[in-house]
Amino acid sequence: MKQRPFVSTAILGVAATLTLAGCAGGSSPSSTDGTVSADLAAQIAAVTPEQLEGTTLKVADYHGQCPEATDGVTDLSKGTNQCDTFGILVNAFNASGTGITVERVASADWNDYMVAIDTAFAGRQQADVIEMGGSHLAQYAPRGLLLPVDTEAYGVEIPEFTDAATAAATVGGTQYAIPMDIAAELINVNLDILADADVLDADGSFVPPTSAEEFLELCKTIKEKTGKQPFGLAFVDDMASTWLFMTSVWQQGGDLITADGSAPTVDTAEAQEALQFLNDLIDLGYVNNTADYATSNQDFLNGEVAMVFNGGWEVNNYASQATFDYYATDFPNLWGSPSVLADSDVWTVARNAEDDPVKYRAALEFLKFVTENNGGWVQGTGLIPAVKEVLASDEYRSLPQRANYLATAESNAHMPPPVTNYSALEAALRAGVTNSTLNGVDSADALKEAQAQAETDFGR
């Protein structure tokens, strides 16, 4: 999920007409089931610092390039967003004396990133280390494309991860990635507008609604008393409306796949309720369904929107740019469960044709460094820590706004289902939401069509 505003400056490598299916067993000739032999694990563990000297790692990420803020900078405390914080993190690693050099290979815009990854795998030109959302991990892990991450077997000590982060990096009981954070949706609030609407508590604090009806009533009061737009949400060329739809389904106790993960459950009573909620917001004039991501953000920062549905990755940006009293907190529990859509930025090690233990060990050393600097990463970005010790630390909890969404960090974050064809499910959900909220298709028909699309594509 994740961090959409950033655009990179290069491509990953080969013609876009290629597909992931074209590399059918992946880049590793020794395994197509995702396992690693004891012999290879021992070779990775036996790699010496001298062997690592001079190794270059190609790393694919979706954080963008911002050289004006990162050139020559190695102090992570200077990071203010994902773009500059990750650039500084790479600089710091390259200056750390390991003898390993990280070279970043960029992708297309965030929305096209996984297509670029597929293209690179298909042409066997994949990077050595690849960032992806944990929701996409199951698409790659069982096909022998990724190195299982058994850090103990490889002789690499890495801090302990939170349960949510570990789950995001695991497929079928095997860890295939190193989690970097939890990226969850929040509600971001302009307290000045809510004060003008006279809906704050006596002490000036935000009072979260406890039902969909209360949320709509809150929006009505804000609009009537202030004339401001009550709620902000990206609809056009963005996943935010779909993510709110998914959140609403989960909060009702529903799900989007069967318990065994074998089939989609898109057209349900919970989905109908969730889609009705979105359409009520539109029909009552409480949200602008012509807004894209940039518009949704800018309207909020301009003081025209009271509340906006967006993730922790924007907290630092909002806090630094807002000219009003800004507050970020857990998205309200509107149906009985506090679940909210979340994902994890995870780092994977791509299998290479030679199963080169030196290259693998170099990748693991870089990811160890990334993990050991998890505190700096979440300070610079607003995202939730993946490392258990960092999440529990006073240093993290004392950062601006972070204590306001600890419930999301500790329990509310709900990951997408870990299925190999999640992309097909997500595409069907997005089509259903878009058809109803943007194209005027009756919600029942939109969900029926989305269910049919999901069933057709889910087994592919």
- 35 falls in which pLDDT band (50, 70, 90)? confident
Residue 397: CB atoms within 10 Å: 13
State both tokens at 94: 């390259």
Instruction: Please give the order of strands across the beta sheet that includes 345-349.
Output: 101-105, 56-60, 129-133, 345-349, 178-179
Do residue 301 and residue 353 come from a single domain? no
Do residue 288 and residue 192 come from a single domain? yes
Q: Encode pLDDT of 104-121 as tens digits.
A: 996 556 667 888 899 999
Cα–Cα nearest to 367, from 227, 199, 157, 162: 157
Which pLDDT does position 115 carry in this prediction? 87
Is residue 12 in some structural domain? no
- 21 falls in which pLDDT band (50, 70, 90)? very low
Which pLDDT does position 22 carry in this prediction? 35
Tally DSSP H helices, then E strands, for the chain: 21, 14
Task: Flag whether pLDDT at 180 surpasses 80.
Answer: yes
Buried b (16+ CB within 10 A) or exposed e, 15-36: eeebebeebeebbbeebeebeb
Q: Encode pLDDT of 378-427 as tens digits.
A: 999 999 999 999 999 999 999 999 999 999 999 999 999 988 889 899 99
Do residue 209 and residue 335 come from a single domain? yes
Do residue 141 and residue 261 come from a single domain? no
Q: Averaged over 21-26, what is the pLDDT?
A: 37
- Please state the separation of Cα 226 from the chain's center in Å: 34
Which pLDDT does position 457 carry in this prediction? 87
Which pLDDT does position 28 carry in this prediction? 40
Do residue 109 and residue 62 come from a single domain? yes
Do residue 320 and residue 229 come from a single domain? yes
Which pLDDT does position 11 carry in this prediction? 29
Do residue 163 and residue 290 come from a single domain? no
Counting residues of the chain whose pLDDT is more than 70, the rounded percentage is 91
Do residue 111 and residue 160 come from a single domain? yes
Q: Encode pLDDT of 332-345 as tens digits.
A: 999 999 999 999 99
- 181 falls in which pLDDT band (50, 70, 90)? very high
Is residue 128 in some structural domain? yes
Do residue 175 and residue 252 come from a single domain? no
Q: Averaged over 323-328, what is the pLDDT?
A: 98
Residues facing 185 on adjacent strands: 311
pTM: 0.91
CATH number of the domain that residue 90 is part of? 3.40.190.10
Q: Averaged over 7-30, what is the pLDDT?
A: 35
User: 123: exposed, middle or buried (C-beta count within 10 Å: 0-12, 13-18, 19+)?
Assistant: middle
Number of structural domains the chain divides into: 2
Domain of residue 286, residue span: 184-342+416-458
